[in-house]
């Protein structure tokens, strides 16, 4: 039987991976060696050392769950353990870190453009740029939907917005280089996030005064954000609309709070236990009294339970199976138990608890604030779906009952909690074809991983065989895996509908980017399977077993030449002006040309570079061999053959006027498919669908839109 270890009372370590344990140990060593020695002075003086973020950045502790831009890309549990070790020293230090990681780096990573990510994430990761998150307003507290901060088109600066309003209780705002501010668009009333760079703000348009004389979190810096017609470029607007943007970030931060408070409680337990063992009253240690032991036992139990709950929710979060209400539950519960436990343990110190040298009073003051911010405890006890159900789900169920096809691309398992998975929908409409398009499919060890075209290109072989012979792997110039997956999905849906005509039954179609990419390896994949050998690597524009068959430089561009057999090679030699090459023993057959590729191809290019691409096209005209100019995209879309095939069409867009688009590539003999109108703007058909298919009236739809249920 194992011995009881009070420092890990429920063997929490057994629930962690070796990597997570290493990360926790690294974070603990840093916090105890670098943060603890300076926390008392920081707390007494309400002083926050911004170098702390640089120190954390150097250890990879900032934005730790982000998998790109040099961030660590670790599990949610690992990020929670970091928060726990920082808050073991002080909640204010954890608050500063959480804002940087979850509330600044998080929304940029999740909702930012590629340019925004490239500009800001590396600096935020290293702590050389400090960020803050401006949502709470003086008059609206827990009701951000009533915010008064307004973003209107700038009257004089084209391509800019002008922001006016105020935010309060904003961690890091007095020292922030980058401020994420949430504001309502004057034109639509929709809430959007803006990235405000302090150095770009004209004098008087942005002020961030500190809020002093706080009772808690004194080791962090807190302030306001005051905006007076502050100009912000439109390109600095995040790509998310409504409160789901800030709320998704807050959920990540709240998860860190749920984990972090357990660190503060554990520190209170350790300090109270040490004090109770050392302090003698009535000729024996305080720890010998059962009342003291009960306080320690209660707190120890709460800390262990709270940590295990946070680990469990973190696993669900990474698996895509976490409901947002779970975050509210553990944030509310762990904050409450940490504050209750800290207050009870404070009594162990008697009058000494009043001295900050014992640290317990600081934890109590901090935990009171932590229980209040990012959603006061009572707010987190309101679980709407538990009481009234989800209007959005009800609408989707009604639509599913009327439709033939449903397409979704959520991580497998995540729709089950909303009764929107295949089994639930199939009960509502057994004839519906339910199609799931995901990165790695509904089964297999990677099924819970998020999938992106370029990642699948890399992992499933395409990137390895793409690029120049001696160069690194490169991605294909368009999202070819996304495109092929869409085509496979479309064909599969049509086949399922055809089968339904005979059986009367719908079915679940599982389409994965990874599967579709493996399928497109085609002859190269078959060759490897049959031979058992590795592939021959990257060939650039060349063919591995036919020479010449590649691109060659010309005087002003590039030209693709294909001498696919001996007859065509002879024609090429004649048109190049070197007919003798066709009878040269080194080049007389394809096998000899392949063997002497390194000799023949440079000889050809010495000739092709002497003339322009157009001149070579004229020379090769009517030769019977394969050849082509290597055109850029603009030249392609202006190509006479492309235009003759009606591959460019013009349509009328409701916002942009006439625009040109690439047309459908398929020509039918008995019908005329093609692009007839522009893609609808977001929400354009919402009213029509809800009226005609769900049976709602305009007033009901207006209420749903106001509540954010529909767009």
Which two three-digit tokens encode residue 1?
């039987």
Give a yes or no: residue 401 inside a domain: yes
Distances (CA, A) of 282 to 286, 289, 368, 462: 9, 11, 33, 77
H or E, element range at 489: helix 480-503
85, 241, 374, 601: which is the annotated catalytic residue? 374
- How many Å apart are CA 454 and CA 478, to the nearest integer? 10
Assess whether 414 and 364 both reside in one domain.
no
Rounded-to-integer distance, Cα 280 and Cα 269, Å: 18
Residue 192: strand, helix, or coil: strand
| CATH number for the domain that contains residue 574 | 3.30.1540.10
Cβ-based neighbours of 336, under 8 Å, separated by 6 or more: 371, 377
Same domain membership, residue 341 and residue 437? no
In angstroms, the CA 269 to CA 33 distance is 20
**244-278 and 76-89 are packed helices; what angle lies between their axes, rounded to 10 degrees?**
50
pLDDT band at 416 (very low <50, low <70, confident <90, very high): confident
292 and 265 in one domain?
yes
Q: Which residues contact 80 (CB under 8 A, 6 or more apart)?
A: 255, 256, 258, 259, 260, 310, 311, 314
**Nearest Cα residue to 108 out of 90, 127, 133:** 133
- Given a cut of 90, whether residue 9 has pLDDT beyond it is no
The answer to whether residues 557 and 519 belong to one domain is no
Give residue-wise pLDDT tens across range 469-482: 889 999 999 999 99
* Distance from chain centroid for Cα 696: 35
Check whether residue 526 and residue 393 sit in a common domain.
Answer: yes
Of 385, 408, 440, the one marking the end of a domain is 385
Per-residue pLDDT, 328: 85
Q: Taking residues 617-629, what's their average pLDDT? A: 93
> Both 492 and 426 in a single domain?
yes
Q: Name the domain count of the chain.
A: 3
Task: With respect to residue 99, please indicate whether it lies within any of the assigned structural domains.
Answer: no
Measured over the CA atoms of residue 374, residue 377, residue 378 and residue 384, the dihedral's sign is: positive
346 has pLDDT over 60: yes
Determine, yes or no, domain membership for 495. Answer: yes
Query: What gap in Å lies between CA 286 and CA 277, rounded to an integer?
Result: 6
pLDDT mean over 19-27: 96
| 379 lies in some domain | yes
Pick the residue with more confidence: 390 or 669? 669
Place of tokens 């390194």: 598
Let me know: does 369 contact 377? Beta carbons within 8 Å: no
pLDDT tens for residues 315-336?
A: 999 998 888 888 888 998 999 9
153: annotated active-site residue: no
Please indicate whether residue 427 or residue 670 has the higher confidence score (pLDDT): 427
Mean pLDDT of 583-611: 95
Query: What is the average per-residue pLDDT within 223-245?
Result: 93
Are 421 and 479 in a shared domain? yes
Please give the pLDDT value at position 38.
Answer: 95
Structural domain harbouring 512 = 389-531
Residues of the chain with pLDDT > 70, as a percent, come to 97
CA-CA distance, 195 to 182, in Å (whole number)? 9
Contact 136, 170 (CB under 8 A): yes
CATH number for the domain that contains residue 376: 1.20.140.10
CATH (domain of 501): 3.40.50.10540
Are the C-beta atoms of 392 and 710 separated by less than 8 Å?
Answer: yes
Residue 574 shares a structural domain with residue 486:
no
259 and 316 belong to one structural domain: yes
Question: In this structure, is residue 609 part of a structural domain?
Answer: yes
The conformational region for residue 210 under phi > 0 = left, psi -120 to 50 = alpha, else beta, is beta
28 lies in some domain: no
End position of a domain, from candidates 595, 629, 663: 629
The answer on 519 and 399 residing in a single domain is yes
pLDDT (0 to 100) of residue 374: 52
Identify whether 469 is part of a domain.
Answer: yes
* 408 and 326 housed in the same domain: no
| Contact predicate 436/412, CB 8 Å | yes
Region 554-558: what's the mean pLDDT? 96
pLDDT in the model for residue 390 = 65
Evaluate whether residue 266 is within a structural domain: yes
Q: Which of 334, 352, 385 represents a domain boundary (last residue)?
A: 385
Pairwise CA distance, residues 30 & 38, whole Å = 12
How confident is residue 226, by pLDDT bands cut at 50, 70 and 90? Answer: very high
Is 508 found in the same domain as 419? Answer: yes
Buried b (16+ CB within 10 A) or exposed e, 646-677: ebeeeeeeeeeeeeeeebeeeeeeeeeeeeee
Inform me whether the pLDDT recorded for 380 exceeds 60: no
Cα–Cα dist 54/175, whole Å = 14
- Smallest Cα–Cα separation from 541: which of 562, 523, 555? 562
| Section 395-401 average pLDDT | 89
Q: Please, what is the end-to-end C-alpha distance for the chain in angstroms?
A: 59
Q: How many whole angstroms separate alpha carbon 359 and alpha carbon 336? A: 19
SS3 content of the chain, % helix, strand, coil (to 5): 50, 15, 35
């Amino acid at each position: 039987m194992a011995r009881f270890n009070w420092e890990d009372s429920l063997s929490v370590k057994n629930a962690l991976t070796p990597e997570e344990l290493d990360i926790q140990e690294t974070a603990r060593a840093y916090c105890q060696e670098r943060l603890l020695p300076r926390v008392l002075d920081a707390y007494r003086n309400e002083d926050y050392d911004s170098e702390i973020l640089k120190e954390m950045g150097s250890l990879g502790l900032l934005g730790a769950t982000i998998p790109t831009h040099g961030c660590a890309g670790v599990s949610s549990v690992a990020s929670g353990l970091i928060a726990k070790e920082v808050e073991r020293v002080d909640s204010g230090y954890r608050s500063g870190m959480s804002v940087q990681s979850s509330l600044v780096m998080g929304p940029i990573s999740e909702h930012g453009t590629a340019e925004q990510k490239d500009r800001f994430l590396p600096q935020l990761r290293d702590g050389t740029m400090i960020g803050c998150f401006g949502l709470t307003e003086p008059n609206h507290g827990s009701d951000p939907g009533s915010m008064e901060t307004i973003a209107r088109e700038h009257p004089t600066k084209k391509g800019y917005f002008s922001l006016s309003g105020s935010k309060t209780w904003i961690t890091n705002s007095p020292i922030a280089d980058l401020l994420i501010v949430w504001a309502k668009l004057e034109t639509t009333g929709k809430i959007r996030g803006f990235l405000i760079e302090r150095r770009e703000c004209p004098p008087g348009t942005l002020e961030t005064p500190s809020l002093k004389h706080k009772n808690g979190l004194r080791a962090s810096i807190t302030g306001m954000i005051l905006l007076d017609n502050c100009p912000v470029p439109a390109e600095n607007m995040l790509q998310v609309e409504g409160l789901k943007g800030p709320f998704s970030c807050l959920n990540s931060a709240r998860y860190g709070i749920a984990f972090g408070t357990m660190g503060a409680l554990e520190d209170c337990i350790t300090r109270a236990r040490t004090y109770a063992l050392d302090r003698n009253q009535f000729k024996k240690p305080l720890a010998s009294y059962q009342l003291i032991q009960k306080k320690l036992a209660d707190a120890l139990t709460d800390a262990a339970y709270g940590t295990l709950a946070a680990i469990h929710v973190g696993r669900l979060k990474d698996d895509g199976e976490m409901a947002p209400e779970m975050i509210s539950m553990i944030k509310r519960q762990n904050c409450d138990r940490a504050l209750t436990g800290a207050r009870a343990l404070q009594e162990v110190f008697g009058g000494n608890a009043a001295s900050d040298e014992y640290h317990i009073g600081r934890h109590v003051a901090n935990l009171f604030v932590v229980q209040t911010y990012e959603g006061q405890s009572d707010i987190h006890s309101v679980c709407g779906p538990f009481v009234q159900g989800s209007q959005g789900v009800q609408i989707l169920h009604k639509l599913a009952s009327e439709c033939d096809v449903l397409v979704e691309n959520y991580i497998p398992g995540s729709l089950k909690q909303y009764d929107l998975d295949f089994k639930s929908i199939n009960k509502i409409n057994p004839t519906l074809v339910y199609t799931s398009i995901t990165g790695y499919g509904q089964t297999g060890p990677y099924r819970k991983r998020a999938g992106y075209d370029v990642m699948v290109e890399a992992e499933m072989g395409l990137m390895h065989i793409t690029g120049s012979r001696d160069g690194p792997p490169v991605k294909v110039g368009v999202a070819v895996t996304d495109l092929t997956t869409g085509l496979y999905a479309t064909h599969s849906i049509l086949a399922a509908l055809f089968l339904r005509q005979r059986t009367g039954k719908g079915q679940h179609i599982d389409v994965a980017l990874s599967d579709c990419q493996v399928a497109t390896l085609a002859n190269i994949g078959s060759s490897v399977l049959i031979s058992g050998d590795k592939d021959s690597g990257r060939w650039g524009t060349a063919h591995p077993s036919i020479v010449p068959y590649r691109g060659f430089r010309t005087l002003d561009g590039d030209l693709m030449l294909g001498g696919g057999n001996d007859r065509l090679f002879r024609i090429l030699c004649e048109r190049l002006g070197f007919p003798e090459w066709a009878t040269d023993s080194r080049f007389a057959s394809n096998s000899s040309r392949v063997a002497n590729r390194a000799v023949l191809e440079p000889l050809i290019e010495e000739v092709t570079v002497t003339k322009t691409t157009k001149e070579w096209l004229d020379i090769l005209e009517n030769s019977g061999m394969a050849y082509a100019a290597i055109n850029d995209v603009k030249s392609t879309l202006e190509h006479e053959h492309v235009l003759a095939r009606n591959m460019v069409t013009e349509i009328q867009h409701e916002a942009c006027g006439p625009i040109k688009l690439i047309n459908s590539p398929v020509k039918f003999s008995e019908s005329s498919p093609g692009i007839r109108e522009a893609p609808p703007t977001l929400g354009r058909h919402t009213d029509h669908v809800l009226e005609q298919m769900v049976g709602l009236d305009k007033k009901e739809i207006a209420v749903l839109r106001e509540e954010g249920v529909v767009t």
